[in-house]
Amino acid sequence: MEVTFWGVRGSIPSPGPATVRYGGNTSCVSVRLADGEVIMIDCGTGARNFGRSLLAGRFGKGQGSGTVLLSHAHWDHIQGFPFFGPFYVPGNRFTVVGGIQGSELLERVLERQMAAQFFPVQSYRNMGAQLDMRAVPDDREVRVGAARITAHPNPHGPTQALAYRIHADGKVLAYASDVGYPESGPQGDTVDFYRGADLLIHDCTFTPEDRAERMTRGLASLDDAVEAAARAQVKRLALFHYDQDYSDHDVDELVRRGRRLLDQRGAKAIEILGAAEGLTLAL
């Protein structure tokens, strides 16, 4: 399984000289499986560059098929949707999975941002590719090729965001962005959902100090990410979804501090890194 980060920022794109190394695009991660299956997790503005990379291959010829997993529909997770090139090539086929409240709602939300007031294409049906919108089923399990994908709803302020666990090629990737845990941090079935992952991509929007002042945002701090990784005994933790005002230097400091916290917690074996645009990890 090959995992690539295309957008690692939360809330709003933040281009500029202070964010060159980690990147300013919003949430988008791609997963390529050994059998060639292509999965995109979240469709923030990073999806534009991911789409461009795909157009060089079969997706440019209308012969591609892929799966899009959406954690939720806040702007920083869907704004790349109208700018994802392979959606405009007739013949391509995508299954879009998200929203535990039904496929009609998922479709309505995505369709709304295509309306003429927001975007000239007016409807996702005008994009060319075949898009099949599907709600996560009641058993929260989706099969993509040989991959077994499960979803888990996490609290996210006034709403929820789905975490995903992808089990394929003998490896496990867990993705948990936009997570507002209670004060006690991740517990019980949430920890079980991440357990033993080869890579946990976890929301790390804030330092603990900044999160304390912004509890109602429903987003995670560095402490939450470290606790999730340590309690679930994952192998590798990738910090993700940084606050738009954090510079590259601030993110470097998050990673350094996260390393110290893991060591203090007796979790020296867990590798920690800061997700950065363009970074590919092989699991």
Residues engaged in binding Zn ion (CB under 5 A): 10, 76, 178
The CA-CA-CA angle for residues 255, 261, 266, to 5°, reads 130
* Contact predicate 17/271, CB 8 Å: no
Q: Is 256 helix (H, G, I), strand (E, B) or coil?
A: helix
Long-range contacts of 147-153 (CB under 8 A, 24+ apart): 147/33, 147/37, 147/39, 149/39, 149/69, 150/193, 151/69, 151/97, 151/100, 152/189, 152/190, 152/193, 153/100
Q: Supply φ then ψ for residue 254, to 5 degrees.
A: -60, -45
Residue 213 falls in which region: left (phi positive, over 0), alpha (psi -120 to 50) or beta: alpha
Instruction: Identify which of residues 114 and 179 has a Cβ nearer to Zn ion in the complex.
Output: 179
> CA-to-CA distance for 253 and 231, rounded, in angstroms?
22
Least Å distance, CB 246 to Zn ion, is: 14
Q: Checking DSSP bridges between strand 199-203 and strand 236-240, what pairing results, if any? A: parallel
C-alpha radius of gyration, the chain, whole number = 18
Residue 10 or 98 having the CB closest to Zn ion: 10
Closer residue to Zn ion in complex, CB, 47/147:
47
Of residues 28 and 283, the one with the C-beta less far from Zn ion: 28
Cβ burial 257-268 (10 Å sphere, 16+ → b, else e): bbbebbeeeebe
- Least distance to Zn ion, CB of residue 250, Å: 18
Going 107 to 109 to 114 to 117, the CA torsion angle's sign is positive
Q: In the complex with Zn ion, which residue's Cβ is closer, 12 or 100? A: 12
CB of 266 to Zn ion, least distance (A): 31
Which of 231, 184, 168, 215 lies closest to 38, judged by CA? 168
| Cβ pair 221, 207 in contact under 8 A | yes
Minimum CB distance to Zn ion, residue 140 (Å): 21
Q: Closest distance between Zn ion and the C-beta of residue 229, in Å?
A: 19
Q: In terms of CB distance, is 70 or 144 closer to Zn ion?
A: 70
CB of 121 to Zn ion, least distance (A): 24
The position carrying tokens 């400091």 is 253
Rounded least distance, CB 26 to Zn ion, Å: 7
168 or 228: whose CB is closer to Zn ion?
228
Report, in Å, the least distance between residue 171 CB and Zn ion. 25
